[in-house]
A and B are shown apart, each in its own frame.
Chain A
Amino acid sequence: MKRLNVTPRDGWQGLVEAQGLIWHTDPTGVYWDESACYSFTLAEIEAIEAATEEVQHLYLEAGERIAGDERLLSLCGIPASYHDAVRHAWRAQGPALDYGRFDFGYVGQGPPKLFEFNCDTPTSMLETAVVQWEWKEDVFPRADQLNSLHERLIARWQELAPVLPGGRAWFTHFGDAAHEDTITTTYMRDLAMQAGLETRAVLIDQIGIDAQGRIVDQDDLLISALFKLYPWEWLAVEDFGARILPHLATTHWIEPVWKMMWSNKAVLAVLWDMFPGHPNLLPASLDPARLTGSYVSKPVLAREGANIELVEAGRVSARSGGDYSRRRLLYQQLYPLRDFGKGYPVLGSWIVAGTAAGLGIREDGLITGNRARFIPHIIED
C-alpha cells in the first residue's frame, strides 16, 4: 500500500462536476483530491475483499442475536415502540438493496480492522462508483481498481423490480444545502431507472400521511416502495415516527427498518462479545473499564465522525465537534492508523448482496470527519 503524488487533470473541477460531484471543493479546501492516489497490490485488495465479506457474515449472526433480545435492541438505540417492527422485518427479510460501506483501518499489513458499518444511509457512492473510475480511465488507463459498485447496484435493482408493486420506487432525501444528499439520491434513482424501474422523487418533508397512517407523496399517491437517504433513527423519533408503525409493512422501505440493528455503534460491542479475538474486529464495549490501552469513544448514534474522542495514556488526545449526544457511548480499541504523508486514510469498503463491491478512501486527521478528502486508488501488481 503506497500513496502516490499525481498531477491533477487540467480542468478537473469541470470534469467531476459533469459527473455530478458538485461538492468537490468548499471554503476549507478540496474534498475530491486527485493530487494523490493510493496504490495497492492485488494481494492487499483480496485481503480487503475477504475482510468485507467475512464481516458481513458476522453482522448476520449479530442481527439474529439482537432481534431476539429486547435488552440488545434497546442498547442499539432502537426505541421500544420500534422493537416489534424491527423484529418482524428481520424475520420477513423483505426487499432490500442489502448494501453498505464498512469503514476499515488498514496500513498495508495485518488484517483490516472494522471501525463501523454504514448500512442504512451510506454515502460517497458517486465518488466511489463513477468519479474515481473515470479518473482512473484518464490517468491510469492500464491499472485496475476495486470497483464494481455501479454495476452491482443496478443488478440488485433488477432483482428487486419484480417484487415492487408496479415496478416502481420513490426516492427521498433531505434537501441539504450542499446538495450532496440530493445528488447521491438522484444517482441511486438513476441506477434504478437503468434497471428498468419507474421512479418518482419526493423530499422527506413532502411525505404525507393518510387517515390510516399510510405514507403518500406530494401528489397523494400511496408510496409502495421508498428508497430513503434519511436514517431510521431520525424517522423513528420524528412526528410521523409512531403514526407510520401500524402500516409500516405496507411500504417496502429501502433499506428495511431492521437495519437499525446494524447502523449503530453499540453493535460493535455485541460483535466483540460474540466473536472475541476475531482478526477483523477491534475490542469494543459499552464499558471503558473492559478495554486496556488507548481507545476511541463514539456516540452510539452519530454520523460523519462527529463527537468522537481519542484517549491515549488516559488523556484525550483528539476530539471532534458536532451536535450528537454523548450520553451513550461505545468504546473501541484505538487502531494505529498510518500517516502516509498528508493524513490518515480510512478505507470505505462497499458490499452489495454479500459481495465486496468497491473501495473508496477518505483521508483526514486522526478522526475522519465530514471534511475528510476523498482520494482515488489503483491496483498495481
Chain B
Amino acid sequence: MKKQLTLTSAMAATLGSLSACSSQPDWDGTVYAENDTAVCVDQNGYRVDDDFCDNRSAYYRGSHGSHGWYYVRRGGPVPYWGESVRDARYGFNGSMSPDASRVYARAPASTSVSRSTAVARAGFGSSGRSFGGGRS
C-alpha cells in the first residue's frame, strides 16, 4: 500500500522559506470579501463561529436573539472571530438585514480565527539554539 505524502514538494520548499513571512509584504491581516458574505455575530455584534448561526450545526443556539447573521458587502473587510462589527475602527460596511436579491457566501476559513496584538516575541527557542533541536 502506498503512503501518500501530499507535502513532498512543500517539504523541500520549507527548507529555505519557513522563516519568511507567510503573508504578503506589509499586509495588515485584513481580508476583503470576494463575494457578498454572511458571518455569524453574537448579540453584542462580536463575530463568532458560524456554526452558532447554522441551524444544521450542533452548536446552533436558535433564533432567540443571541446570534444572528451579519451581511458583508463584496469588497468589504471581513471580521475575524472576536471583532465587533459595531467597532468603527474596523470599518465594517455590512448590515444585519440581508439583501433579498443577493446570495451570500460563507466567510473564508482564514477569517475563522481570532486576532490579537503581540506585545513581545521570541520568548521561546533559546534552548533550541543551545542544543540544536527539540527532537528525542
Contacts and interface: CB of A to CB of B under 8 A. Distances in A.
B120 A221 contact: no
B6 A194 contact: yes
Contacts of B100: none
Given A183-B11, A210-B119, A238-B127, A20 B5 contact: yes
Contacts of B11: 20, 183, 186-187, 190
Contact of A186 (B7, B115, B125, B129): B7
B52 to A, nearest CB: 12
Nearest to A231: B134
Contacts of A194: 4, 6
Interface stretch (B14-22, B35-43, B67-75, B87-95): B14-22
B134 to A, nearest CB: 4
Contacts of B115: 216, 220-222
Interface in B86-136: 109, 112-136
A33 interface: no
Given A18-B8, A174-B134, A181-B135, A220 B120 contact: no
A210 B118 contact: yes
Interface residues of A, number: 73
A257 interface: no
A218 B117 contact: no
Contacts, number: 183
B124 A238 contact: yes
Nearest to B123: A240
A133 B4 CA distance: 12
B116 A229 contact: no
B128 A221 contact: no
B29 interface: yes
Contacts of B80: 221
Contacts of A118: 136
Contacts of A193: 6-7
B23 interface: yes
Identify which of A205, A231, A237 gathers the most chain B CB atoms within 10 Å of its CB: A205
A176 B132 contact: yes
A166 B128 contact: no
Contacts of B54: none
Interface stretch (A195-203, A290-298, A327-335): A195-203
B64 interface: no
A260 interface: no
A349 B12 CA distance: 28
A303 B119 contact: no
Contacts of A182: 14-15, 18
Contacts of B114: 221-222, 224
B127 A166 contact: no
Interface string B23-54: 10000010000000000000000000100000
A89 to B, nearest CB: 18
Contact of A209 (B120, B128, B135, B136): B120
Interface string A79-113: 00000000000000000000000000000000000
B42 to A, nearest CB: 16
B120 A208 contact: yes
B117 A211 contact: yes
Given A211-B117, A229-B134, 12 more contacts: A22-B15, A193-B6, A194-B4, A201-B18, A203-B18, A207-B123, A210-B116, A222-B113, A228-B134, A234-B124, A234-B126, A238-B123
Q: What are the 7 closest A-B residue pairs judged by CB atoms, nearest first?
A: A208-B118, A174-B128, A240-B123, A205-B125, A234-B127, A123-B135, A239-B123
19 contacts: A19-B5, A19-B8, A20-B5, A123-B136, A150-B3, A166-B49, A168-B112, A179-B14, A180-B135, A182-B15, A205-B128, A210-B116, A214-B116, A216-B118, A222-B113, A231-B127, A234-B124, A243-B120, A303-B136
Interface of A: 18-20, 22, 118, 120-123, 129-130, 133-134, 137, 150, 165-166, 168, 173-184, 186-187, 189-190, 193-194, 198, 200-201, 203-212, 214, 216, 218-222, 224, 228-231, 234-235, 237-241, 243, 263, 303-304, 323
